[in-house]
Structure 1
Amino acid sequence: MKDFNVGIIQLPATGDKEKNLKTMEEYISCAKNKGADVICLPEMWNCPYQNSYFTKFAEEDFGKTYKKMSEVARKNEVYLIGGSIPIKSGEKIYNRSYVFDKEGKEIYRYSKINLFDIEGYKESDTISGGKSLGVFETEYGIFGLAICFDLRFPELFQSFRNYGAEVIFVPSTFMKKTGEVHFHLLNRARAVDTQCYIVSPAIARDAKLSKNAYAHSLCVSPSGEIIADLGEEKNLAIVKLENEKVKREREKLPLEVSRKNRKL
């Protein structure tokens, strides 16, 4: 891994898709001007996190939002982890994230595996789960990519570590009820588990369609230290991620050596 600056974007998802696209473009330009090399958006940043909007806002693969993200990545010469957006594929809709390189070319995609099905709400009423998991490589290192509810499944994050990841991105939309008790806890736990940086951009809270969002986008160090917490409102942060911190944490606590040596 090479040292680089990550831009963390926290936006509210309004009921006006055009406005969401414009705000995204403005914030990415701002993050680039502040020195970001890699930028990550939240989960469902172009679409309010409600089943009815998933159906209403869903686009075909390579649609309008996809093209805008590709254009913005190319124009700003940054790697863009595009949070996630609702994507139609036949009769199904997926909660999907796309990754673009500095030329605006797609280099990776991930459809959320673990859907947010809890007491009182089921994401699976409209969204279908993805089936594959992996990592992607950039000039700065190997990165993992999960989405929101995936944070509750540590075995996924161990897979990222096994694949060589040193930074894991987790675009999210935690609700206030679950976020207040679990969002910081889960992000810190996954960082300590994997000895990776965890970068979790979240939807901002507003007084309208995003009023139940917990927000608090996070960047957590490989040792579990919270480096950045973006609060509740629309915001962005630029954080330097350092190779030495990953290296030293893994030297101090050689977890993989213990895994190889243990006998059960």
Structure 2
Amino acid sequence: MRVALVQLTTGRDLEANLELLRARIREAAGRGAEVVVFPEASMRAFGNSLVDIAEPLDGPWATAVRAAADEAGVVVVAGMFTPGDKGAATTTVRNTLLVHGRGTDAHYDKIHLYDAFGFKESDTVTPGTEAVRFTVDGVTFGLATCYDVRFPALFTANAAAGAQVQIVCASWGAGPGKAEQWDLLVRARAVDTTSYVLACGQSDPAAAGPEAAAAARPGAPTGIGRSAVVDPYGNLVERAGDGPEILYADLDLAAVEEARRTLPVLVNRRLIESGIPG
């Protein structure tokens, strides 16, 4: 199965972001990709208001992404924002991954919110509560978003339920040591679960051109690039640089079966209860 990881920098304008996704979907499909993965916050970059653009899964932005996936004949995974809970003092969104194409229609709401490194995602985002997987042509994918990558139990739950490939969509915050942590974590989750990991992040706005750099909000987690494809033993298959690009990889699912026979960590584990529904 050929997959494409589209590393890009989105901005404030929903229509411009949508056109960027459409163009990259066509490009990836033209290169033979069957699954095309976009980063977290593909709908609108962090550092901008999210409540005013959050829409239901049958809203216009999501509908347009679905149409682009269907037209190209691929599965698309893309980060968007859907309405969250309404509290007494605030209205929130859900940090959602939309999945659509080739008979698949699913979504995942980010479970672990980024209340770290001075950022407080829980002030504006309602957390998800369930792990989500989807299957295409006999291949099962688990879903995760950004800060989720620091929580192995989610990935183990997905793998125990049959996921051979783990998708991580991110808009990773910059800072001292953060790139090294990202590199380590995406490889660790592959080893933990003897799964492929497809880690697709927003590119660094500074590497995406002067306009993107000027539009990025200081202090917001707007991406560092370094998207990666990791094999079930934790070996790096492909890695992007800082700027916009598309990574392509042909996944050998027999490698997952071999890794799970050779390194049966899912069978050997003893602390079974993850506490994560689904």
Fold match (TM-score > 0.5): yes
1:210 is displaced (CA, Å) by: 4.2
The corresponding residue for 1:5 is 2
Contact 1:35 1:238 in 2 (8 A): no
C-alpha distance in structure 2 between counterparts of 1:203 and 1:15, whole Å:
14
**1:61 lines up with 2:71 in the alignment:** no
Q: Secondary structure at the match of 1:55?
A: coil
Residues 11 and 203 in structure 1, CA contact (< 8 A), matched pair in contact too:
yes
Residue 85 of structure 1 corresponds to 80
Matched with 2:276 is: none
What is the alpha-carbon distance in structure 2 between the residues aligned to residue 140 and residue 258 of structure 1? 25
- Please name the residue that 1:189 is paired with: 188
- Structure 1 residue corresponding to 2:214, chosen from 199, 202, 208: 208
Q: Distance in 2 between matches of 1:108 and 1:28?
A: 18
Q: Percent identity?
A: 28
What secondary structure sits across from 2:52 in the alignment? helix
- Cross-structure match for 1:76: 72
Q: TM-score, normalised by structure 2?
A: 0.86
- 2:94 maps to what in 1? 94
Equivalent runs, 1:63-212 vs 2, <5 Å? 63-82=59-78, 84-89=79-84, 91=86, 92-102=92-102, 107-177=105-175, 179-206=178-205, 207-210=213-216, 212=222
Q: Aligned partners of 1:156 and 1:243: how far apart in 2?
A: 21
RMSD: 2.0
Aligned to 2:18: 21
CA distance in structure 1 between the aligned counterparts of 2:263 and 2:57, rounded to whole angstroms? 43
- Aligned-pair distance for 1:38? 0.8
Q: How many residues align structurally?
A: 255
State the TM-score, normalized to the length of structure 1: 0.90
Structure 1's consecutive aligned runs of 4 or more residues displaced over 4 angstroms after TM superposition are none
Larger deviation: 173-182 or 141-150?
Answer: 173-182
Report the AA paired with residue 102 of structure 2: K
Q: Which amino acid is the alignment partner of residue 200 of structure 1?
A: A
Unpaired runs of at least 5, structure 2 = 87-91, 206-212, 273-278
d(CA) in 1 for partners of 2:264 and 2:133?
22
Any conservation in 2 of the 1:217–1:229 contact (CA below 8 Å)?
A: yes
Question: Which residue of 2 is the match for residue 228 of structure 1?
Answer: 238
